[in-house]
Amino acid sequence: MSLTRQGRHFLAIGLLQWVIDCTVMMGLSHAGVPVEPANLAGRVSGAMLGFWLNGRITFASEDTRVGRRQLGRFVLMWMVNTALSTWSLSTINGAIGLRGAWLAKPAVEVALAGLSFVLSRNWIYKR
């Protein structure tokens, strides 16, 4: 599968994940849940869907798999990305407030998506 096609699929699935993630994070934080657990809930809500769709569609080939080993790699990457995302949003929230964290969330997630694509393509889904 070409890099361009993988990129398009990763972007489409990522947009779906992002909508779910942001909606959950903003809804929970608007309801009074602190930013950190609200962000974690948002990221979890899209993660498993993204893992499965990217494994079955985006990176599907003869040398890839969606199995226990790939899930372990995905979870490790997801934990690092979630820690970076939550730390970033918490820092922004402390510096300029909740609305600033809301505005920054998309940019933070786009930056982390680039790292996720490279790791997914070259490590996570490999047999």
Nearest to 13 by CA among 67, 42, 49, 65: 49
pLDDT of residue 82: 86
pLDDT of residue 97: 96
Number of residues assigned to the chain: 127
Q: How far apart are CA 58 and CA 36, in angstroms?
A: 30
pLDDT tens, position by position, 92-120: 999 999 999 999 988 998 899 899 999 99
Q: What is the dihedral of CA 106, 112, 113, 115, to 10 degrees?
A: 160
Q: How far apart are CA 125 and CA 69, in angstroms?
A: 9
pLDDT tens, position by position, 39-68: 889 988 989 889 999 999 999 999 999 999
pLDDT tens, position by position, 8-41: 999 999 999 989 989 999 999 999 999 989 988 9
Helices (H), 31-126: 35-53, 68-96, 98-119
Q: How far apart are CA 45 and CA 24, in angstroms?
A: 8
pLDDT of 75 strictly over 80: yes
